[in-house]
Amino acid sequence: MTDDLIRKEMRMIKDLGANFIRLGHHQQSRLVLDLCDELGLMVWEEVPWCRGGLGGDRYQTQARDMLRAMIDQHFNHPSIILWGLGNENDWPGDFEAFDQEKIKAFMTELNVMAHQLDPSRQTAIRRCDFCKDIPDVYSPSIYSNCAQVELFVNGVSAGTRTRNSQDFPAAGLRWLVTLREGENVIRWMES
């Protein structure tokens, strides 16, 4: 994408009223994070461990290196509130073996590493039910056609919402979540 297109899309996100964005599972352009800082968008940044279980030693070394590089390079962006550790890691089929205990152990390793590299921010994953107690924030699959959603914060259920709830507009679920770290309170809408 060109810089002009990135600027246009980020401005559109802000103009929609968003105050939180979960970025894709790849290294982001510096401009994206600069604009999030400038526009006041809170960011969940993702490491590229996405789907399919867990690869071998080389794969795991690369995932560690990418997490370390992401945090080292983007540590000074005030917009980042969550370091993403993985996405849909419970989805089997991308590797020959699928071992939940090895996935959990590696997720735990990444979580510890992220907190060592940046103790001021929380960690998050999306949809890996058997790992939901590892990161600080767990997000199950949230789609506008789902019947019920449960959100986990710091490994504890923050409750559920159903399709009939007033918090569930036609465009999807909008749920105010409050995370407390010391005296700081962060609020965002998950949709």
Name residue 184's beta-bridge partners: 181
Mean pLDDT of 3-22: 91
- Helix or strand holding residue 110 (H, E): helix 100-117
pLDDT cut 70: percent of the chain above it:
73
What rounded mean pLDDT belongs to the chain? 80
Residues annotated as catalytic are 88
- Which pLDDT value is given to residue 127? 86
**SS3 breakdown of the chain: % helix, strand, coil, rounded to 5?**
30, 25, 40
Q: Catalogue all structural domains in the chain, each as residue range(s) with its CATH number.
A: 3-139 (3.20.20.80)
Nearest-Å Rg of the Cα atoms of the chain is: 17
Question: What does the alpha-carbon distance between residue 191 and residue 189 come to, in Å, rounded to a whole number?
Answer: 6
Name the pLDDT band for 149 (thresholds 50, 70, 90).
low
Q: Which of 94, 105, 158 is nearest to 131 (CA)?
A: 105
Contacts of 88 (CB under 8 A, 6+ apart): 50, 51, 126, 127, 128
115 vs 145, more confident: 115
Instruction: Show the CA angle centred on residue 48, arms to residues 111 and 168, nearest 5°.
Output: 80
Name the pLDDT band for 133 (thresholds 50, 70, 90).
very high
- Which pLDDT value is given to residue 94? 81
pLDDT cut 90: percent of the chain above it:
51
CB–CB of 150/143 below 8 Å?
Answer: no
- Which pLDDT value is given to residue 23? 92
Mean pLDDT of 114-141: 92
Strands 122-126 and 80-87: parallel
